């Protein structure tokens, strides 16, 4: 449910500069994410999509610029505030980043155990609901990450990210490496949970199908900035060589819904 544009952005990035040594990754990057939307972040390899994600959740210290989440500066908070802030978002890393010494259920329980004082049965029960919500079979709960397939690990990572019903979820390439059916199912899952939990989703992806299917808006990273933000229609209409290549390339054409009859090339 795309929300009122007048509302304050839930994530607000202003003038972000990120450097690694002499390499400048972001140079004056601005981005607003609205509450309740699914924003897809795209860009070529090495344009710093994951770096942006890491900066927003406070894992990387930007050289310059302001990053505010829920109106609070991410880097400029004391430990307690940062802890409270973390409680309101969930992050899913590329390969799930599950703790390999814990079972799937224990992985999902980990944030609950850390943040809340619940009795063991209740925690296990709630974790079990989350595991099933992301579409894992019930018996997968007691499996260890090394016993799961790549797709299942991603789902389990997602379950851990939403363990505490956060307001924002950051997803780093959730559908990369999944088969088309699995990827489509994951898209549906994200959309469904966004509707039922009222999530804001920050989605780093290369998957054009995901962009078409679930993203309310798309932000394009290029030339060390956010080049453009807008809906899929706006992106398709945009006149920039890279953006045009990205959204009109041979793979993009395949992903475009067959609303219009196939054009002869």
Residues in touch with other proteins (CB under 8 A): 100-101, 112, 116-118, 122, 125-126, 128-130, 132-133, 138, 144-146, 162, 164-165, 192-193, 195-198
User: Closest separation between CB of residue 2 and other proteins, Å?
Assistant: 15
Say how many CA atoms lie within 13 Å of 20 toward its Cβ.
8
Nearer to other proteins, 133 or 229 (CB): 133
User: Closest separation between CB of residue 145 and other proteins, Å?
Assistant: 6
User: Closest separation between CB of residue 238 and other proteins, Å?
Assistant: 33
User: Closest separation between CB of residue 80 and other proteins, Å?
Assistant: 16
What proportions of the chain, in percent to the nearest 5, are helix, strand and coil? 40, 25, 35
Three-state DSSP state, 227? strand
- Please report where in the chains the tokens 């060390």 appear, as a residue: 224
User: Closest separation between CB of residue 90 and other proteins, Å?
Assistant: 12
For residue 10, give the nearest of 47, 35, 41, 39 by alpha carbon. Answer: 35
- State residue 166 phi and psi, 5-degree precision: -70, 170
- Are 185 and 130 within 8 A, CB to CB? no
- Are 57 and 170 within 8 A, CB to CB? yes
Nearer to other proteins, 138 or 233 (CB): 138
Distances (CA, A) of 2 to 5, 37, 221, 236: 8, 5, 22, 20
**Angle 120-133/104-115 helices, nearest 10 degrees?**
120
For residue 100, give the nearest of 154, 142, 145 by alpha carbon. Answer: 145
User: Closest separation between CB of residue 193 and other proteins, Å?
Assistant: 8
- Are 75 and 58 within 8 A, CB to CB? yes
Nearer to other proteins, 41 or 163 (CB): 163
- The pairing of strands 72-73 and 89-92 is unpaired
User: Closest separation between CB of residue 149 and other proteins, Å?
Assistant: 11
Nearer to other proteins, 118 or 176 (CB): 118
- Are 108 and 129 within 8 A, CB to CB? no
Nearer to other proteins, 197 or 237 (CB): 197
Nearer to other proteins, 87 or 224 (CB): 87
Nearer to other proteins, 7 or 197 (CB): 197
Nearer to other proteins, 191 or 225 (CB): 191
Q: Which residues pair with 85 in a beta bridge?
A: none
User: Closest separation between CB of residue 263 and other proteins, Å?
Assistant: 38
């Amino acid at each position: 449910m795309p929300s009122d544009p007048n509302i304050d952005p839930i994530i607000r990035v202003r003038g972000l500069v990120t450097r690694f040594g002499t390499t400048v990754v972001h140079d004056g990057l601005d981005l607003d994410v609205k509450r309740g939307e699914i924003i897809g972040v795209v860009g070529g390899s090495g344009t710093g999509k994951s770096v942006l994600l890491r900066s927003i959740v406070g894992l990387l210290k930007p050289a310059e610029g302001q990053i505010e989440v829920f109106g609070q500066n991410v880097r400029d908070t004391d430990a307690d505030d940062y802890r409270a802030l973390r409680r309101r978002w969930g992050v899913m890393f590329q390969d799930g980043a599950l703790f390999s010494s814990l079972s799937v259920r224990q992985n999902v329980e980990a944030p609950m155990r850390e943040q809340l004082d619940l009795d063991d049965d209740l925690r296990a029960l709630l974790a079990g609901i989350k595991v099933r919500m992301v579409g894992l079979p019930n018996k997968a709960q007691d499996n260890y990450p090394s016993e799961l397939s790549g797709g299942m690990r991603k789902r389990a990572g997602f379950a851990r990210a939403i363990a505490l019903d956060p307001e924002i979820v950051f997803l780093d390439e959730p559908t990369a490496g999944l088969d088309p059916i699995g990827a489509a199912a994951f898209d549906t899952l994200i959309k469904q949970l966004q509707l039922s939990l009222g999530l804001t989703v920050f989605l780093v992806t290369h998957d054009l199908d995901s962009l078409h299917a679930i993203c309310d808006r798309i932000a394009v990273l290029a030339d060390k900035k956010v080049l453009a933000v807008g809906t899929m229609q706006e992106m398709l209409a945009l006149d920039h060589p890279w953006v045009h290549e990205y959204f009109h390339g041979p793979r993009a054409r395949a992903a475009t819904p067959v609303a219009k009859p196939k054009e002869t090339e």
